[in-house]
Amino acid sequence: MDIFLSVLKVAGIVLLCIVLFLIAILLLILLVPYRYKIHGEKSGGISAYVKVTWLLHFVVVLLTYDDGINLRIKILGIPFYDRKRKAQKARLKAEKERLKAKRASLAADKRKKKDDKEAEHTAAEADPEVEVIKDQAADETAEDTKENIETGAEKSSGGKEKKNLFSRFFRKDKNSPKGKKESFDEFIDRILDAIWDICFDLPDIIEEGGEALLDKIEKIREKIEELFGTIEYYHRLLGSEGAEWVYEYVKKHVLKILKAVKPTRFDALVNIADDDPANVAKVYEYEVYALPFIELIRGRRGRVIVNAYQDEKYFDMNATLKGHVFLLAVAWHGMMLLFNKKVKAFIKRLKREEEAEEKKKNG
């Protein structure tokens, strides 16, 4: 009995250690921030990379773009996955298989030719007339080839002559006999007939165009009605009971999620040149418009420098964005949005109203 209790005690301690280890791993995953760095550079070519690290570079994920996309994952500094290296190994393996198959095919062809020569030599020794027949067949083949070449040359020369012959003439009526040149009077008559046909068919053309225009006007009217219907729907929706509370609740948690993933520093150096001084002035004008957004993501120590010159056109950029993600905050506020009863009830009501609107349109 004492032995059994001792075994249970050891098993319980082992299970407790495993549970505590899993809890510690879960807390590390939720509490330790994931740091990211996004870097982009354009100087002649374009290169960029996205680097995500966790727990003092215990895990490093690096996505790079430079003449192709590559993904690398390292754990404790040991390469765990490298897409480019994996693809390179696959290409080398496929190349080896291809060369191996090619060598086997060449060896098989060589053996086959050798066997055919041996068979022909044996047949020639057995029957001397075989060589005579082969020579006659070769002569006939050469004559047929020569005749085909001459015939092709005659056809090509005839076609060329035909093309040159017709290129000298005006476009003729299909019913006119071949080889007859169209006179200037016939050309004028044909043009007048074409104009008369257009004038005769003009009412039909106008009627068809008018119908197409009316169809377009009808479609535009339907689009406008749909737009007004959408505006009325959202006006009714925002004025319904509980909509204001849901709006404020969702806004609060979404802002907290954005705060948990907000960048902490943004550095950028941009050099722009243009030969038009008006465009150079516009660059600084756009920089002024973008200042609120730049201040939002620049952070306390970030710097954004924009230089504009009047010179030959070029654009160089070097930008780096750093930040961190708190997974616990993102998961918590995400669950608050997903599992709130009032939000779920509001979404269900929206779905019922949309279904009713669809039935009304289709009915």
Average pLDDT, the chain: 78
Number of H helices, E strands in the chain: 8, 8
pTM greater than 0.85 (yes/no) = no
328: Cβ contacts below 8 Å, ≥ 6 apart: 30, 31
Q: How far apart are the C-alpha atoms of 99 and 103, rounded to whole Å?
A: 6
151: enclosing H helix or E strand: helix 129-167
| Side-chain-facing half-sphere of 185: CA atoms under 13 Å | 0
Residue in the block written with tokens 């050891």 = 10
Provide the 3-class DSSP secondary structure of residue 59.
strand
C-alpha dihedral (148, 153, 154, 156), degrees to nearest 10: 120
Q: How confident is the model at residue 157 (pLDDT cuts 50, 70, 90)?
A: very low
Average pLDDT over residues 220-227: 79
Share of the chain above pLDDT 90, in %: 25
pLDDT of residue 60: 95
| CA angle at 277 for the pair 271 and 281, rounded to the nearest 5° | 65
Share of the chain above pLDDT 70, in %: 73
- Helices 184-238 and 341-362: angle between axes, nearest 10 degrees: 140
Q: How confident is the model at residue 352 (pLDDT cuts 50, 70, 90)?
A: confident
Please indicate whether residue 184 or residue 326 has the higher confidence score (pLDDT): 326
DSSP code per residue over 93-125: HHHHHHHHHHHHHHHHHHHHHHHHHHHHHHHHH
Choose from 18-27, 128-137, 171-180 the range with maximum mean pLDDT. Answer: 18-27
Task: Using the predicted structure, report yes or no on whether residue 123 has a pLDDT greater than 90.
Answer: no
pLDDT of residue 215: 77
Please indicate whether residue 351 or residue 32 has the higher confidence score (pLDDT): 32
By mean pLDDT, which of 98-102, 209-213, 282-286 is the weakest? 209-213
pLDDT of residue 152: 53
pLDDT of residue 168: 36
pLDDT of residue 359: 80
Task: Using the predicted structure, report yes or no on whether residue 23 has a pLDDT greater than 90.
Answer: yes
Residue 258 CB-density burial (10 A; 0-12 exposed, 13-18 middle, 19+ buried) = exposed
Average pLDDT over residues 75-79: 89
pLDDT of residue 147: 60
Please indicate whether residue 336 or residue 106 has the higher confidence score (pLDDT): 336
Task: Using the predicted structure, report yes or no on whether residue 143 has a pLDDT greater than 50.
Answer: yes
Task: Using the predicted structure, report yes or no on whether residue 120 has a pLDDT greater than 80.
Answer: no
Average pLDDT over residues 129-151: 56
Task: Using the predicted structure, report yes or no on whether residue 67 has a pLDDT greater than 60.
Answer: yes
pLDDT of residue 197: 66
Task: Using the predicted structure, report yes or no on whether residue 107 has a pLDDT greater than 90.
Answer: no
**Helix locations, 239-362, DSSP H:** 243-260, 277-298, 327-338, 341-362
Domain ranges of the chain: 127-168, 171-238, 244-362
pLDDT of residue 19: 95
**Helix locations, 168-183, DSSP H:** none
Please indicate whether residue 293 or residue 202 has the higher confidence score (pLDDT): 293
pLDDT of residue 245: 87
Task: Using the predicted structure, report yes or no on whether residue 124 has a pLDDT greater than 80.
Answer: no
Task: Using the predicted structure, report yes or no on whether residue 232 has a pLDDT greater than 60.
Answer: yes
pLDDT of residue 3: 83
pLDDT of residue 348: 85
